[in-house]
Amino acid sequence: GENVEQHPSTLSVQEGDSAVIKCTYSDSASNYFPWYKQELGKRPQLIIDIRSNVGEKKDQRIAVTLNKTAKHFSLHITETQPEDSAVYFCAASLSGSARQLTFGSGTQLTVLP
């Protein structure tokens, strides 16, 4: 089955700096890659996703890049703010639709004021 590895497990940045979280996946058939943000005590929230026919996608301060050849994808957050502090999870889907999501282990992002 699919295996998703996520790095780093913890990340601290100064407010205003950029943060990058990286994930690798094992199954070349995976073609849907969402990112979730989970604040303490709350549900995971979908913040951005990318499909395999696209190399990069941006939404304001958040961007995701995908390298299908290398089987890795990354989340980029620019101009970080304290409210960006949370656990971020990457995931990969084998079928390309909303099923069988395999999650990475998570990254605790702390934005220092």
Partner 1 sequence: SAVISQKPSRDICQRGTSLTIQCQVDSQVTMMFWYRQQPGQSLTLIATANQGSEATYESGFVIDKFPISRPNLTFSTLTVSNLSPEDSSIYLCSVGQIYEQYFGPGTRLTVT
Name the site residues for partner 1 (rule: CB under 8 A).
1, 32, 34, 36, 42-46, 49, 51, 89, 93, 96-106
- Which C-beta is closer to partner 1: that of 14 or that of 42? 42
Give whichever of 76 and 103 is closer to partner 1, judged by the CB atom.
103
Nearer to partner 1, 51 or 61 (CB): 51
- Tell me, letter by letter, the H, E, C secondary structure of the chain: CCCEEEECCEEEEECCCCEEEEEEECCCCCCEEEEEEECCCCCCEEEEEEECCCCEEEECCEEEEEECCCCEEEEEECCCCHHHCEEEEEEEECCCCCCCEEECCCEEEEEEC
